[in-house]
Amino acid sequence: MLGRQIWASMRQGLSRGLSRNMKGKKVDIAGIYPPVTTPFTATAEVDYGKLEENLNKLGTFPFRGFVIQGSTGEFPFLTSSERLEVVSRARQAIPKDKLLIAGSGCESTQATVEMTVSMAQVGADAVMVVTPCYYRGRMSSAALIHHYTKVADLSPIPVVLYSVPANTGLDLPVDAVVTLSQHPNIIGIKDSGGDVTKIGLIVHKTSKQDFQVLAGSVGFLLASYAVGAVGGICGLANVLGAQVCQLERLCLTGQWEAAQMLQHRLIEPNTAVTRRFGIPGLKKTMDWFGYYGGPCRAPLQELSPTEEEALRLDFSNNGWL
């Protein structure tokens, strides 16, 4: 924790940088991003060498940038210092022309502000802030608007909202998103809920703002583009980066029939590495595709032989293995 010193420095020193950041209104986040996994050794230490190797391989694809310390990065299992060190090492490995969006969400507003400022200091171009959820029964639209407004007010870099109800049990309400889209330092949202109607409604209701919507999964990427999303943060891009980028190109060039065919072939493997087998499934698949997946941190466990075979079938049945 950076404590009182961070709060003091923000009040004194961030106003000029923040105003400069807001003045030109903002960073264009349109495009595809892999939410990068955090590699661990057999003894559950962060393997920074493997992180760099994975980023170098992923850097061969036409991604807009990388999300570091999102849900796929197992951020709840890392210490604050580890989260910052992962982002710092990633920044060194990622080309300067690629955006680095860092997950900075914590449960309290103060901790989130401190983490956000620290992420900016280690090289993040923007932060992605997940909804606080432990006291979800009290996380009304008013509470969430207050939380995100305070974070955006004090962040020296742009803020992306992050709604992932499968993990948090909390869906960021449309009315809150619309209100927050008017903040000059909130530039967009990653919506992982899978409700394309909601995504389209957010696009519609924020159309007068400089606000961009990213799909949170490749499983509904085509549908999200069809209703006005500008890209996606897609876990499957960690193993099928070329194909996810191809789906983006097909959508952007209006080749909807080809896009539909590719989308269909990506649905089952995407579900396998997200909802069905989660991060252990994604990391196992990374091992198959020439990346380093490796183990997860406990309490996440590796797949059973039966699960691994089911995972392999979801990829091979669609022609990817």
**Beta bridge pairs of residue 246:** none
pLDDT at position 6:
43
Phi then psi dihedrals of residue 234, to 5 deg = -125, 115
Phi then psi dihedrals of residue 287, to 5 deg = -60, -40
Q: What are the chain's domains?
A: 3-259 (3.20.20.70)
Arithmetic mean of pLDDT, 196-209: 97
β 126-130/159-163 pair status: parallel
Set 26, 50, 190, 284: catalytic member: 190
At residue 18 the predicted structure's pLDDT band, cuts being 50, 70 and 90, is very low
Half-sphere exposure of 85 toward its Cβ, with a 13 Å CA cutoff? 13
β 99-103/126-130 pair status: parallel
pLDDT at residue 14 is higher than 90 = no
pLDDT at position 15:
38
Instruction: Report the chain's mean pLDDT, rounded to a whole number.
Output: 93
- What is d(CA 49, CA 93) in angstroms, rounded to the nearest whole number? 10
Q: What Å distances lie between residue 44 and 38, 195, 221, 232, CA to CA?
A: 11, 35, 33, 30
> Model-level pTM?
0.92
190 is catalytic: yes
Q: Between these two residues, 18 and 250, which has the higher pLDDT value?
A: 250
pLDDT at position 5:
46
Angle formed by the axes of helices 305-316 and 256-271, to 10°? 170
Arithmetic mean of pLDDT, 28-35: 98
- What is d(CA 306, CA 75) in angstroms, rounded to the nearest whole number? 28
Kindly report which listed range (7-11, 265-269, 294-298) carries the lowest average pLDDT score. 7-11
Judge contact between 65 and 31, C-beta under 8 A: yes
pLDDT at residue 280 is higher than 80 = yes
For the chain, count helices (H), then strands (E): 13, 9
